[in-house]
Amino acid sequence: MERSADWMAQAKRDLENAEYEHKGGFYEWAAFAAQQAAEKALKSAYQRMGGDAWGHSCFRLLEGLLAAKGMTDEELLAQARLLDRFYIPARYPNGWAQGAPRDMIQERDANEAIRAAEHILRFCEGLLA
């Protein structure tokens, strides 16, 4: 069953949550939610193409999607790579040599993650149109 609309709806909700967490000062959760938004948006594009994407790396998901479409976009890949930095370390203290995610992920990081996710969502929405 093709469920790209469901994946994209959740991606948008996750992005809204990233902004909510950011406003509350929970920058680690904002960064993680942004990563989740991008991951789900990318999976929505795979769904639309009739595929099923597994894994959590935005970079790898985007790389495969671009290849399938015969496209390249180094800026978008850089943004996906940035988001991958927040998949584990934004949630677990053992993602860092010392300190907890709340100490290590700052407002600037959350801002960058949210902007990167917005860019990836726009790209994926374009593929769904």
pLDDT, position 1? 85
Query: Could you report the average pLDDT of every consecutive run of 10 residues in the chain (129 residues)?
Result: 94 98 98 98 95 92 96 97 95 92 97 98 95
pLDDT, position 51? 84
CA distance 87 to 128: 25
- State the total domains in the chain: 1
Q: Could you tell me where the DSSP H helices lie in the chain?
A: 4-23, 27-48, 58-69, 74-84, 101-104, 107-128
Domain carrying residue 101: 4-128
CATH number at residue 39: 1.20.120.330
Assign residue 12 a region: left if phi > 0, alpha if psi is -120 to 50, beta otherwise? alpha
pLDDT, position 75? 97
pLDDT, position 129? 87
pLDDT tens for 18-37 read 999 999 999 999 999 999 99
